[in-house]
Structure 1
């Protein structure tokens, strides 16, 4: 899996949970860049980069993940019975955890509406790419546990890798459930409906938390197999071509016009 991405939305705020392809142009990323070949027969210089995300997509993604992190921190703090004891977030902002959670929830709801209304085309592409499972995905999953350390992922042709497609669906579905149930809790003052919304909200939080944590770990690039992928959503949305080839081989070849076959797949 890699950072959750969107597709084909250069001016599309719906690209927040995902990425958009762009033209591949070589660029010197500085004297500290790596150079030479990776584990393939192709010499991919560390100075050659490829664009994954335009600015709008990166900013939307940043707004979503800040909101989600605030919601998870304050939500779990409250769920664990600490309502009378301000969290670090509450102390920094000077606002109670309950109010931070409520306001941030409305912000995420607004971002969701914005994505649906403004980014309808991008979302259609995102769903089409996320549900398009292919022959060979099983082999990719079998290689994945070792590949996160070695970088020797199985070949796939998608915009997203097979694990990323599953994560896309789970993450978006659970966040939508959290938003809808959270709005229900804000609008209903009590009774059976409130109890039902609270239960749904709690279980959705249980489901989404490990997915978000996994996404952060993978997207940060701290795992050797995913080194460099954090650049796809930061610092211009460009990452080194060899890193893109390692994680998204089919997409990278279509984007750059250069083929690449790692030695472990010969």
Structure 2
């Protein structure tokens, strides 16, 4: 745990939630994903003949932007797990691990969003994050797999099936990503301050961490604090 100064004479404890490598990987994924959603929806809405603002800015057709950014996401999807094998194992293990108290957390979640008083849980991610992690990972991999197939194939029955998968995966992922951004941005009262965990050096107020991830905080930070000698 690190001590920071919030104001003259006032000390504030902050903790690091995510490492620098994880934050850069996350930034790359959400930047490419947002660009893909922007160009993808432009094409889905039948605007292929009209260049989007992004297309005009880059002086490239929207289809080319979509394809090139898609390959960048493929590279991240391959390199991320290879270079960050421990983080990947943690992400998978913690996302699929559900506990008996998770039902109570979900029942109290609507009020917690407003009051900030969530039911305690012991996970690295809260129960809602775990479900969104799994759904979003499945949706993004469906987008990547079908997108690669559409680039490689040039017509035929398989191409038609992949086109439908790609379209419906876009419908599936869009609200999930929008909800993730809404919560991660700290707009909702219960998640105020959470955005710092992935930005600004990954350090956030320990009080926010204790409210949202009490078990994780105690395992990773509280026990590492030196005990005062009697």
Query: What range is the shorter-chain TM-score in?
Result: over 0.9
Q: In the alignment, which residue of structure 1 is the partner of 2:2?
A: 25
Q: In the alignment, which residue of structure 2 is the partner of 1:116?
A: 81
After TM superposition, give the deviation of residue 116 of structure 1 in Å: 2.8
Pairing 1:112-191 to 2, within 5 Å after superposition: 112-191=77-156
Q: In the alignment, which residue of structure 1 is the partner of 2:13?
A: 48
TM-score, with length taken from structure 2 = 0.93
Pairing 1:157-236 to 2, within 5 Å after superposition: 157-236=122-201
| Matched residues, number | 223
After TM superposition, give the deviation of residue 121 of structure 1 in Å: 2.9
Q: In the alignment, which residue of structure 2 is the partner of 1:65?
A: 30
After TM superposition, give the deviation of residue 120 of structure 1 in Å: 2.7
Q: In the alignment, which residue of structure 2 is the partner of 1:90?
A: 55
After TM superposition, the runs of 4+ consecutive aligned structure 1 residues lying more than 6 A away are: none
- Where structure 2 has 5 or more consecutive residues not aligned to the other structure, the ranges are 224-230
**Of the candidates 210, 213, 216, which is equivalent to residue 245 of structure 1?**
210
Q: Which has the higher helix share?
A: 2
Give the RMSD, CA atoms, in angstroms.
1.6
Q: Distance in 1 between matches of 2:199 and 2:89?
A: 24
Q: Distance in 1 between matches of 2:94 and 2:20?
A: 21
Q: Distance in 1 between matches of 2:114 and 2:52?
A: 35
After TM superposition, give the deviation of residue 122 of structure 1 in Å: 2.2
Q: Distance in 1 between matches of 2:154 and 2:63?
A: 15
Q: Distance in 1 between matches of 2:111 and 2:189?
A: 10
- Where structure 1 has 5 or more consecutive residues not aligned to the other structure, the ranges are 1-23, 36-44, 259-266
Q: Distance in 1 between matches of 2:147 and 2:160?
A: 12
After TM superposition, give the deviation of residue 256 of structure 1 in Å: 2.7
TM-score, with length taken from structure 1 = 0.81
